[in-house]
Chains A and B, each alone.
Chain A
Amino acid sequence: MNKRDIHDILETVGMIKDQNLDIRTVTMGISLLDCIRGDSKSTCAAVYEKITTKAGRLSGVCEGIGAEYGIPIINKRISVTPAAMLCATADPFELALTLDRAAKTTGVDFLGGFSALVQKGFSGGDLTLIEAIPQALSDTKLVCSSINVATTRAGINMDAVALMGEIIKKTAEATKDRDCIGCAKLVVFANAVEDNPFMAGAFHGTGEPECAINVGVSGPGVVAAALREAGDCDLAQAANIIKKTAFKITRMGQLVAELAANRLGVEFGIVDLSLAPTPAVGDSVAEILEIIGLESTGCCGTTAALALLNDAVKKGGIMASSHVGGLSGAFIPVSEDAGMIAAARRGSLRIEKLEAMTAVCSVGLDMIAVPGDTSAAVISALIADEASIGVVNSKTTAVRVIPAIGKKVGDEVSFGGLLGSAPVMEINTWSPEKMIKRGGRIPAVLQALRN
């Protein structure tokens, strides 16, 4: 054992022991296209059978790898074909209950894919699925839902945007006895990706193979520790430290992804180069921004620091994995990040700044609680703004917002576990209703003459 080996070993052990380094999720993507039958009951039976067969060993294999290699794997998840594709014959509510049951049987933490892609319009089962979301998310525990309302090539479906404002409010109402947790399981996307392993937005796209393993890594605590150790270096050096750290984190993700795919006899899909925070102390993206030199996240400079961080994470990670995909970037979910929560509480982090931040990182306005009396039109307009950022910049953006029924600015909502807790944030209440009521589609944006 030379000095270098000793250093490497102690560094890795320190990352696991003190800096919350872990594999955030091993997500199995499963195609359900061959489960479509002529009636709802048979379709649901085929769906249950397929998921429990394909993912039957997922949890066990992940736990085995975790114990055998000494790497903590926090979540085991499943993503499936957007369920709306099955809803021409299947009843969406019955399907949601089936997905929940299948997820419970396989022992996974979440199942994503109660989804519809409606960027250009509604087809077959899209509308019936969307209408079923509030009750489905209220009556299931593990099912997550996502709706894609815009793409750079199709533009923004404003009818869908208007509808999703209403659906988010109804979902909050349906789960108001549980701090509106239904909304924490519902994402509205622009430019959604087909191989995302993270919840609540994971679904298994139609361009994906029959079954694939996608892995999401984590490690804000590791990046924070490396930057803290580096002291007062300049920003180029800081970017370099982040790159090196991201490389190491991602290599671990690649190792686990290959092992899991091998042992399950399933294709390895991608590693998602993400910096995913948790509410645990020392596992915060906001903390990294503050170590870079911000007094409190949300102040001027936050977008620049986040852009540096996001880019360096990708540059470091890209060489560490044979296939990179998913959302890849730093996440900024408010309720899931102790530093973001603190910044929002002290008033330095506001929704407007969060919106700007989403232009330079992954993914969007995420896990933000707003007052319960926020109108559906305001929520729709918030979605439209966020979708515009995604569409114009050819990136994925999303909105996962929680209208906290019965609560006002300064109150708190608490979901427990990785979903964390969030202070209710102030939102601009001037009305965008007339624009939202216009409906129609915002045309696809020009791909040249970019400014």
Chain B
Amino acid sequence: MKAVITVLGKDTVGILAKISAKCAENRINVTDVNQTILDDIFAMLMLVDMAEATIKLADFAAALKAEGERMGLVVYVISQEVFDTMHHV
């Protein structure tokens, strides 16, 4: 299963490192990373493959949300299927 991690907030040192570390910890492979500025808000998107993950997406989403809150960031982990379904006929 593939998923997209979206991090929104103020750009600070170590965001990518922290989120990547969480991925590695749970054997989640990062396949693509992109950063952009959206309405003055920093947005980082990570495409991840959870085929060998040792954690369920729901639990991983909750863990990243908590991690994000500690850094003052909003973090979403959403299945790629959602984006594919919504935006592709």
Binding site for B on A (CB under 8 A): 1, 5-6, 8-10, 12-13, 16-17, 64, 67-71, 248, 251-252, 254-255, 319
- The CA-CA distance from A71 to B77 in the complex, in Å, is 10
Please pick, from B56, B58, B61, B83, the residue contacting A9 in the complex, using a CB distance under 8 A: B83
Q: Please state if B76 and A1 are interface contacts (CB–CB under 8 Å).
A: no
Q: Does B34 contact A (CB under 8 A)?
A: yes
Report yes or no: A13 in contact with B56, Cβ–Cβ below 8 A.
Answer: no
Residues of A within 8 A of B86 (CB): 8, 12, 248, 251-252
B residues near A, CB below 8 A?
A: 4, 6, 8, 32, 34, 36, 38, 43, 45, 47, 56-58, 61-62, 74, 76-79, 81-83, 85-87, 89
Q: Residue among A1, A64, A69 with the most chain B CB within 10 A?
A: A69
A20 to chain B, nearest CB (A): 15
- CB atoms of A252 and B85 under 8 A apart: yes
Given known A-B contacts A17-B76, A254-B85, A255-B85, A64 and B45 have beta carbons under 8 A apart: no
A69, B43: Cβ atoms closer than 8 Å: no
> In the complex, which residues of chain B have a beta carbon less than 8 angstroms from the beta carbon of A254?
85
Q: Is the CB of B82 within 8 A of A255?
A: yes
Contact between A12 and B58, CB atoms less than 8 A apart: no
Chain B interface, >50% SS class: strand
Question: CA of A364 to CA of B72 in the docked complex: distance in angstroms?
Answer: 44
A13's partner among B6, B32, B62, B79 (CB-CB below 8 A) is B6
A17 to B82, CA, bound (A): 15
Interchain CB contact under 8 A, A9 and B79: no
Asked if B8 and A69 sit within 8 Å, CB to CB, the answer is no
Decide if A12 touches B77 in the complex (CB within 8 Å): no
A64 neighbours in B (Cβ, 8 Å): 58
B-chain residues with CB within 8 Å of residue A68 when the two chains form the complex: 56-58, 79
28 A-B pairs with C-beta separation under 8 A: A1-B32, A1-B34, A1-B47, A5-B83, A6-B34, A9-B4, A9-B45, A9-B83, A10-B38, A12-B78, A12-B83, A13-B8, A13-B76, A13-B78, A16-B78, A64-B58, A67-B58, A68-B79, A69-B57, A69-B79, A70-B61, A70-B76, A70-B79, A71-B78, A251-B86, A252-B82, A254-B85, A319-B89
Taking CB atoms, residues of chain A closer than 8 Å to B62 are 67
In the bound complex, residues from chain B placing their C-beta under 8 Å from that of A8 are 83, 86-87
How many angstroms between the C-alpha atoms of A261 and B14 in the bound complex? 42
A6 & B45 in contact (Cβ 8 Å cutoff) = yes
CA distance A251 to B88 in the complex (A): 9
**Contact A71 B43, beta carbon cutoff 8 Å:** no
Q: Do the beta carbons of A17 and B45 come within 8 Å of each other? A: no
Contacting residue for B76 out of A6, A16, A319, CB 8 A: A16
Give min CB distance, B67 to chain A, whole Å.
16
Please give, as numbers and ranges, the residues of chain A lying within 8 Å of B81 by CB-CB distance: 69, 255
Q: B6 contacts which chain A residues (CB < 8 A)?
A: 9-10, 13
Min Cβ gap B17→A in Å is 20
Do A251 and B85 have beta carbons less than 8 Å apart? yes
Which of A9, A67, A71 has the most CB atoms of chain B within a 10 A radius of its CB? A9
Q: Are B83 and A70 in contact (CB under 8 A)?
A: no
18 additional A-B pairs beyond A16-B78, A68-B57, beta carbons within 8 Å, are A6-B34, A8-B86, A9-B6, A10-B38, A10-B45, A12-B78, A13-B8, A13-B76, A70-B57, A70-B76, A70-B79, A70-B82, A71-B78, A71-B82, A251-B86, A252-B82, A254-B85, A255-B81
Chain B residue with Cβ nearest A63 = B58
Nearest chain B CB to A6's CB is how many angstroms away? 6
- On whether the beta carbons of B78 and A69 are closer than 8 Å, the reply is yes
Give every chain A residue within 8 A of B8 (Cβ-Cβ).
Answer: 13, 17
List residues of chain B with CB within 8 A of the CB of A17. 8, 74, 76
Judging by beta carbons under 8 Å apart, are A67 and B61 in contact? yes
List the A side residues contacting B57 at CB < 8 Å.
67-70
Closest 4 CB pairs of A and B: A67-B58, A70-B78, A8-B87, A255-B85
In the assembled complex, the Cα of A17 lies from the Cα of B6 at a distance in Å of 11
Closest A-chain residue to B43, C-beta based?
A10
Residues of A within 8 A of B38 (CB): 10
A8→B84 CA distance, assembly (Å): 9
Bound CA–CA A16/B75 (angstroms): 12
Closest to B4 in A: A9
CB A414 to nearest CB in B, in angstroms, measures 31
